Amino acid sequence: MKNLQVQIDAHSGFCFGVVYAIEMAEEILNDEGVLYCLGDIVHNDEEVKRLKNKGLIIIDHQVLSELRNEKVLIRAHGEPPSTYELAIKNNLTLIDASCPVVLKLQHRIKNSFDKGDSIYIYGKHAHAEVIGLLGQTNNEAVVFQDISELDLATVPKNITLYSQTTKSTDKFYEINDMLKGSGIEVNTNDTICRQVSNRDRELRDFAGKFDSIVFVSGTKSSNGKVLFNVCKETNPNTYFISNSDQIDSSWFSENDRVGICGATSTPMWLMEEVKERILTF
């Protein structure tokens, strides 16, 4: 035995939007035993597997278009107006678990679009949340992941800037300053969720307190990739895993202090499982 001291980051685990969606799903699954969900309810394979075992059926938009007279969960990322229109057409009951922060952002973008604003969205191309945001503008808004994608000479001289809720606050304001520095008048809307963005600072503090860090996240989680790199920058002995089977005992030396943390899509039960596995070394 290596006599490892293991601690789970108290701030890690699901954000409130994911908690809300999963609680809604479990309530229906407990009552009815089956529920359709449009896309993975959360970007964590282990949690999706757990809910599938309870009767959750993950579908895509193609399957949705063929579905009739069923209940379908809208996950925290939100959906574009076309999904709601299809639901009415196909007599589907939508269980809307869209994150309140995302819904508020959708409404703000819709209002800007109705006023005729030139809308730019800092976000990840083809991300579920961004697709929902674009839908508020008839897909006319400009989405960019990095300012290098924009030809600043052709950007309108007056734009309205929004951000996907899970992007970096620092990066958003860096982009905002670069746009303004190029002579563009920017109506800036900081729409980043602080529960997510504040994780950067919290994780840097956490990662610096241990000999090694085990970061637990699904491979599909954009937030997980960003937060893993935050930990890695602070503590080079940071390891990315998706489940407890991937842990390697050679990562740890005798009497090491080991920290466990994760993405906002990582369930606490999974981090507890990881802790129990590490304590067997």
Query: 3-state DSSP call for residue 267?
Result: coil
As a whole number of angstroms, the distance between CA 179 and CA 121 comes to: 13
Q: What is the DSSP string of 238-256?
A: EEEESSGGG--GGG--TT-
Q: Kindly report the CA angle at 224 between 43 and 119, in degrees rounded to 5?
A: 80
As a whole number of angstroms, the distance between CA 189 and CA 160 comes to: 7
- Name the strands in the sheet holding 35-38, side by side, starting at the edge strand that comes first in the sequence: 56-59, 35-38, 71-74, 93-96
Query: Which DSSP symbol is given to 187?
Result: E
Question: Would residue 129 show up in a list of annotated catalytic residues for this protein?
Answer: yes
As a whole number of angstroms, the distance between CA 277 and CA 281 comes to: 7
**Catalytic pick among 26, 27, 47, 129:** 129
Query: 3-state DSSP call for residue 204?
Result: helix
Phi/psi-derived region of residue 38, left when phi > 0, alpha when psi is between -120 and 50, beta in every other case? beta
As a whole number of angstroms, the distance between CA 135 and CA 127 comes to: 12
As a whole number of angstroms, the distance between CA 260 and CA 238 comes to: 10
Show the tokens assigned to 203. Answer: 């994780």
Q: Are 190 and 163 in contact (CB under 8 A)?
A: yes
Looking at residue 157, its amino acid is K
**Known catalytic residues?**
129
